[in-house]
Every structure is written in structure tokens, then in C-alpha cells.
Amino acid sequence: MTDVDRMSSAELVGLDEGIREVLMRAAALERQRQYTLRLDFTAGDPSKARALAVTLATALGMLRPDVETYSARLSAGGRWTDAGPAFCLADGPYGAFCAYPHGHHGWHAEDGVDGQRWGDGDEGV
Ligand SMILES: [Zn+2]
């Protein structure tokens, strides 16, 4: 999704026609250059599959920081239509978001050793 896609129609209408046209063309060009990678693997259960998906996406993000890996999605049985998020992505303080697997227990946590922790700890999600 581009920044232009995130703009409301009121914001786009309020722009000068020339600027709006340039932004719309840039957004369309960016969408045309966006690709999705899909991997197939086996795991013992959904939580193990989600943990492996997060590990693979995190590793790819380390190798290629320019690739947006937090958009990783996971589905079972090859049914891509019901794919769910691989990462938790809960909002945290100061713009942080949770890099743990979706549905994890305990604290939410940013990526990295020194990342922030927040939430209900071991008592909740
Ligand atoms: Zn979380």
C-alpha cells in the first residue's frame, strides 16, 4: 500500500489537480512494481507453522532490510484466501509494534535484543 493509497479522498480532492495526478501515477507505478513471495512448508501444528513463518520472515528481513517482511501471511492447506498475519503487529509505545508471532502469549515485544516490551506480561496477550 502506498502513502497515496492511505490518503482519504478528501485529502486527495483538496490537492491541486496536477499534484494529485503526479501522486496517483507514482502510486500506480509503485503498485505495479510490488511483488509477493509465497513459500510452502510443513509443520506439526498451527503454532509451529506460525513460529516457522515468523522465523523465515525475520531471517529474510535480516538479509534484505529493504524487503517488508512484517506483511508475511500464513495459511493452512494451500488456502491462500484465508491467510492470516504471521506477526502480532500490536501497536506499542513510541510507534513500536510487536514482532512476535500472531496470537502469542505474554508481553508484546519489538524486534531486537533491546526492543521495548509492553502489555500484560505472562497474564495476557
Ligand atoms: Zn504481540
Summarised one tens digit per residue, pLDDT across range 66-89 is: 999 999 999 999 898 999 999 999
Q: Do 97 and 52 share a structural domain?
A: yes
> Do the bridges between strand 117-118 and strand 108-109 make them parallel or antiparallel, or are there none, so unpaired?
antiparallel
Q: Do 111 and 76 share a structural domain?
A: yes
Q: Which residues contact 121 (CB under 8 A, 6 or more apart)?
A: 106, 107
What is the model's pLDDT at position 1? 56
Tell me the three state secondary structure of residue 39.
coil
64: phi then psi, degrees, rounded to nearest 5 = -135, 85
**84 CA to centre of ligand 1 in angstroms:** 14
Q: Do 7 and 66 share a structural domain?
A: no
For residue 97, list its beta bridge partners. Answer: 91
**116 CA to centre of ligand 1 in angstroms:** 11
pTM exceeding the 0.75 threshold for the entire prediction: no
Q: Domain of 13?
A: 3-32
**120 CA to centre of ligand 1 in angstroms:** 10
